[in-house]
Structure 1
Amino acid sequence: MNFRVPRGTVDLMPGEVEKWQYIEEKAREWCRRYHFSEVRTPLFEQTELFRRGVGETTDIVEKEMYTFEDRGGRSLTLRPEGTAGVVRSFVEKKVYGDPQPTKWYYIGPMYRYERPQAGRQRQFHQFGVEVFGTEDPLTDAEVIDLGFQFYRSLGLDGVQVELNSVGCHRCRPLFREKLVAYLTPRREELCKDCQSRMERNPMRILDCKNETCQAITAEAPRMVDHLCDDCESHFAAVKKGLDELQVPFVLNTRLVRGLDYYTQTAFEYIVEGVSGSLGGGGRYNGLVQDVGGPDMPGIGFGIGLERVLLALELQEVELPLSIEVDCFLATIGEEAQQRSLSLLQALRQAGCSVERDALGRKMKGQLKAADRMNARLVAILGDEELQNNQVVVKELATGVQETIQLDKLVEYVRDKRMHG
C-alpha cells in the first residue's frame, strides 16, 4: 500500500523548513520588542469552547471543525483558531487576577476542513497575539503596528491595513435593525448562507464573498455611521494612533471578520499582489466573560504563515537564509577518520556547523559532497598532515587553500564563520 500525505496537509522538507524557521524567529523577535510572552495551548479543546467562543453562526463552527469523541465520550475539536484556547487558559489559570495588561503570543498549527488552495491548507499555521485587561485604543494601534512591522521586516512591499469598527452591545442592536430592514425586501436574492444569517447574525452578510450579495449590500447602512459615542471616540483614537505610528490604513466599512466575538476595532492586513488578507484581528471585549471569566477586554490578531510565505513567493522576496555548512572535514585513512571525531566535536562546541564523510568515499567524492552541501570550507586531514600536526583548509568559493596547525583549526573556522 502506498501512503500519501492527507489532503490539505503538506510535508515541510529541508530547504523549505528554513524559511519557516526564519519567519517564526522574526515573529518571536518582534513580540520580544513589544514585550509579549509566548503561551502554548493544546492542539485540541472541548468542542463547546469553540461553539461559545468562536460563535455558532460562523463558517468555522458550522462547516470547518475537526470534531471527534474520545474514549470517554467527550466531544473534542482540533483547534481551528488560536484565540479561544488562549482565552480559556487565561481564565482557567486566573491570570485575570494578576496586574494587567497581559500580553501573550503563540505560534502553531490550526485545523479547518476547507478546500485546499494556494496559501490555504487544512492544517495551517498561525502566529497570533492577544492583549487582555485594557480598553486603551492606543493598544489597538500598537497591536496593529506589531503585525505591520512583522510583515515589513520580512521584506514585503505594499502592506496596508483595512480598518473598521463593528460597534458594541450598545450600538449594534440598532444597526442590526436597520440592516435587516434594508435587506428584507431582497432576502430571496441572497445566497443560502446569507439567508440563514438574516436571523442569526445579519452583519456577516456584509462579509459575504458572493458577488450578488456584495451588490445587494453595496448601499447598505454602515456600522461606522451608527456607532455610540464611546465606540466613535475609541475608533477615532485608534485611527489617530495609527497615523502617529505611520501605519497606512484604509476604511473598509464591509469588514466584520469571520468570528462572532469581535467588538469595536476590526482589521485585516492586505499586501500588494496577493488576493485576500494575510491576517487580521480586532477587539473582543466580551469573550473572556463568555468563556467563564470576569468582564475583561481583549484585543489580538492571527496571521496565517502559509499566506505569508505565498506573499513572499509572489513578490519574489529572497529570505537571507543560511543553510550552508561551515566546514566539511575530509579524511584520508583510518587514523584520520578516527581523529576527525574529536575535531568535529570541538568545532560543534564552538558553534560551527560541520559535517564529515560517512560513506567511505575517496577524496574526489568527499569534495563533491562538500560542494553539494554548500560547505564554506573543506578541511583535509590525512596521515601526512597528522604526522606534522597540520591540516589543509580549502575555501570552496575561491579555491584558495592553506596549511595551518591542527590546534588552530577551530579558531580558523570560527573566524571564517563570523567574518567571512
Structure 2
Amino acid sequence: DCKLRMRKNPLRVMDCKIAGCKALLDSASSILIDSLDEESKKRFTKVLEHLDEMKVEYELDPTLVRGLDYYTHTLFEVVLKGSDLAICGGGRYDNLIKQLGGPITPAIGFAGGVERTIEALKTQEAIVPDPVKAELFIVQLGERAKSKAADLFEKFDTANFRVASSMGRGNIQSQLSEANKLNCPLVIIIGDQEVHDKNVIVRDMKDRSQETVIDRDVIKIVSRKLEEKGMRIS
C-alpha cells in the first residue's frame, strides 16, 4: 500500500499507521524539515514566533498530514492536554477558492469533531459562556504592531474582556469596518509609532474621539471608558 502511495502521492506515506513505516518516518523527521525551501522555512519560523508570543503550547510533528490534498504550508491539529485525542485539525490553503471557481484567496480553516469537543468540555468541567458582542477591537498596522496586538489581545482576554481582532488584515479601514460590524464601542489602534513609543491609541467608535494611552495604563483606561458607557461585561 505504501509503495503505491509513493508512486501516486508520496506525502500520503506519512499517514501510514503500520508500525514499521511509522518508525521509519520518525527517524527521517529532521530530514523533512531540512528539505523545506527558504521561503517555506521563513514562513514556518514566523508562525512559530507568533505562537511563542501568544504563549500557545505546541509540538512539532514533521510527519503530520491531513486527508485532503489542497493544503499549502502549515498544517495543525488541536490535541486535548494529557491525551492523544485530536479535537480539531486544519491548515492553510492558498489555491482552494480558485480551484472552486473563485478569485485567488489565501485562507486558513479547520474542522472539529462535535462529539469529541463536547466530551472534552465535560472531562474538563468547562463552563461555556453565553455569546456576547465584543467590547473592544484591536487594530494593528504592520508586522511589529501585529506582535504587540497579539500580546495585548492575550492580556485583555485574560482580564475577561470580550476582545476581537483581525490579524490577517493590514488595512485600517477594513479593520475598522469589522469593528463596526461587531458593534464594538472602543477600538485600540497600534502602528509602528505606537510600538516605538510604548503606547496605543484608544478610539471611541461612537463620537470618533481618541486619545493616546501608555501601555501600562491601557487596561485600566479601557475598563473605565466601558464602565462610563455602562457596557463593561463582568
**Normalized against structure 1, the TM-score is what?**
0.29
**Normalized against structure 2, the TM-score is what?**
0.49
